[in-house]
Amino acid sequence: MKARALVIVLVFSLLAMACADTGREDDGEAQETTTTTTSGEPVRGGTVVAAIDSDPGQLNPAITTSGAVHYASELMFNGLVALSPELEPVPELAESWEVEDDGALYRFQLRDDVTWHDGEPFTSADVKFSFEEVLLEFHSRTKASVGNALESIETPDDHTVEFRFTEPYAPLLQQLDVTEAPIIPRHVYEGTDPQENPANLAPVGTGPFRFVSYDPGQEIVLDANEDYFKEDLPYLDQVVLRVIPEEGNQVIALESGEVDWLFEVPGPDLSRLQESGEFEFIETSVNPGGANCIMTVSFNLDRPIFQSVEVRTALAHALDREQFLSRVQFDQGRVAEAPIHSGIPFGHAEGLNMPTFDRAEAERLLEEAGWVSEDGGTRTAQGVEGVPDGTPLAFEFLSFPTFSQYGELFRAQLAEVGAEVSLQALEPPVFADTVFTQRDFDTNVISYCNGTDPEIGVRRMYISSNIAPIPFSNAAAYRNAEVDRLFDQAITTVDRDDRSAIYEQIQEILVEELPYFWLVETVATRAYTTDCQGFGEAGHFAETAFCEQ
């Protein structure tokens, strides 16, 4: 059984693979799905116009994890495998594979009928080149995960590739889709600087659509790849990816018929669009930054105010999470009931004692902790350890600009119990620097994406070896030897039920100590016109789509 090895390597490699959802500008989606909502006979021809948030700048998905680039370019490329909605690998460039040595050797049989858009045949040399020269150098997630575990890539013949690892490495098949490991052509990139190759602006791929034109800041036009190796696909003649940065404007463009597909409907407009009956929707927890994300408040435990568990519990009681769900998320998601996302059933604990919304209890706890209110205004310290008497209960709250509404509501709700919150919105690079490198913050909200296994996106938040300076890791600076030990134990526990029990134990401790407070599990809603159907959820969304003429 390879589970043990899987876990070891996961830990090793995925700590840093923060799938923190950096809003709408950051990462490519973590999974690729091939769901279709087919309800009619596919029709050939037609154009789909999709809105994307921001100009990609370049179109090579192998050298970046930028969501803008991935949305704009994935239709032109393939991975060795694709992922089903259940996140199981299904054949793409590789038609079959076998795993040997308990997961230390993967042998892929490649299709022999694939050609690049320029007519050159696709071979195992392209795969080896893509990994060795590009993905493991420039694709930050794949570099940090696969790169750290990989020993060598061999190509016994033109249509066989072998990945050999120093130790068993189980998650590989989840990391070979077009998002994590797009394959690019060796004959175009060999001997050049992959970051400055002109093909980055006019890509050559194997994907269902081929490059036609790119107007920076405006649109990318793709035509159907007549020679696509998947039979009958794609149905569409053309896909246009239109840059519309303002989400309100994306909706306006959808309604006026200027675009046919939105990757994410802004909450405020959702119910209006649903009522109009002119659009179809796909709800997915596969967000731009990763799967199974929880909007999470971190308390900086290095700060004296937040060292008291009573204070943290009081603040948690003061937060009305239903209101976050309805007024910030517009009901796209659910209130988080455990530190681990409900999308990971074996990790998610049930029936935890999460603090419920209770202002009276919050005020009682604050009084007890020495934060007293004299005139109903901001509370001040009276005998709080490490805090001079008279210090007001005032602190900062950091977020990405895209999540500023969380801050607005956080401030309003905490003001009701006498805590004064000041907000700061920081762009992702500055946020990462401030929170994780300099650790100069009081509280913040981060979309922590749990991924598909607690080892990927949960562990990184809690283990003490993960405090600074790793971006999107242990923001709270939480140190608990018992939790560290349990996470280590979970790695080596092969049996899934036993592992569940350990995670449950961990979550009980976390809910009691509240280094973080988990607000809501978020989902994104894709929208498209009823004239079209057959869309997938993520980057290859248009591969199987078709429209009425």
Nearest Cα residue to 210 out of 199, 222, 220: 222
Tell the smallest beta-carbon distance from residue 500 to other proteins (Å). 28
Task: Give the Cα separation of 44 and 471 in Å (integer).
Answer: 46
The site map against other proteins for 172-211 (x = CB under 8 A) is ---------------------x-xx---xx----------
Question: Which of residues 43, 125, 354, 426 is near other proteins by CB under 8 A?
Answer: 426
Instruction: Choose, by CB under 8 A, the member of 101, 190, 215, 350 that binds other proteins.
Output: 215
Within 8 A by CB and 6+ apart from 452, the residues are: 31, 87, 174, 291, 292, 344
CA–CA dist 342, 133 (Å, integer): 38
Q: What's the min distance (Å) between Cβ of 292 and other proteins?
A: 17
Q: Given the complex with other proteins, which of 237 and 484 has the nearer CB atom?
A: 237
Q: Which of residues 121 and 401 has its CB atom nearest to other proteins in the complex?
A: 401
Write down the least CB distance from residue 99 to other proteins, Å: 26
Phi then psi dihedrals of residue 211, to 5 deg? -70, 135
Binding-site string for other proteins from residue 107 to residue 146, where x marks contact by CB under 8 A and - marks none: ---------------------------------xx-xx--
Taking CA atoms, 515 is separated from 19, 176, 177, 311, in Å, by: 20, 34, 34, 11
**Token pair recorded at residue 162:** 């072998």
Whether 103 and 85 have beta carbons less than 8 Å apart is answered as no
Tokens 């080149």 correspond to 129
Of the residues 278, 280, 433, 484, which one makes contact with other proteins according to CB under 8 A: 433
Q: How far is the CB of 426 from other proteins (least distance, A)?
A: 7
**Identity of the residue numbered 360:** A
Site string for other proteins, 226-245 (x = CB under 8 A): ------------x-x-xxxx
Positions in 52-71 near other proteins (CB under 8 A): 54-55, 57-58, 63-66
Bridge partner list, 526: 282
Which one among 327, 359, 364, 479 touches other proteins, defined by CB under 8 A? Answer: 327
> Among the candidate windows 28-36, 111-119, 277-285, 407-415, which touches other proteins by CB under 8 A?
407-415
Contacts of 214 (CB under 8 A, 6+ apart): 59, 201, 202, 220, 221
List 126, 264, 269, 337, residue binding other proteins (CB under 8 A): 269
219 is a contact residue toward other proteins (CB under 8 A): yes
One-letter amino acid of 365? L
Among residues 155, 149, 195, the alpha carbon closest in space to that of 175 is found at 149
- Encoding tokens for residue 139? 């694709």
Q: Based on CB atoms, which residue is closest to other proteins, 94 or 134?
A: 134
Q: Of 90 and 430, which CB lies nearer to other proteins in the complex structure?
A: 430
Report the residue from 75, 134, 409, 456 that binds other proteins according to the rule CB under 8 A.
409
Give the long-range contacts of residues 388-392, CB within 8 A, separation 24 or more: 392/420
Q: Which residue lies nearer to other proteins by CB, 384 or 432?
A: 432
Q: d(Cα 206, Cα 483) in Å, to the nearest integer?
A: 46
- What 3-state class would DSSP assign to 136? helix
Quote the least distance from Cβ 349 to other proteins, whole Å.
27
Distance CA 15, CA 144 (A): 9
Q: Find the binder of other proteins among 372, 470, 494, 501 (CB under 8 A).
A: 470
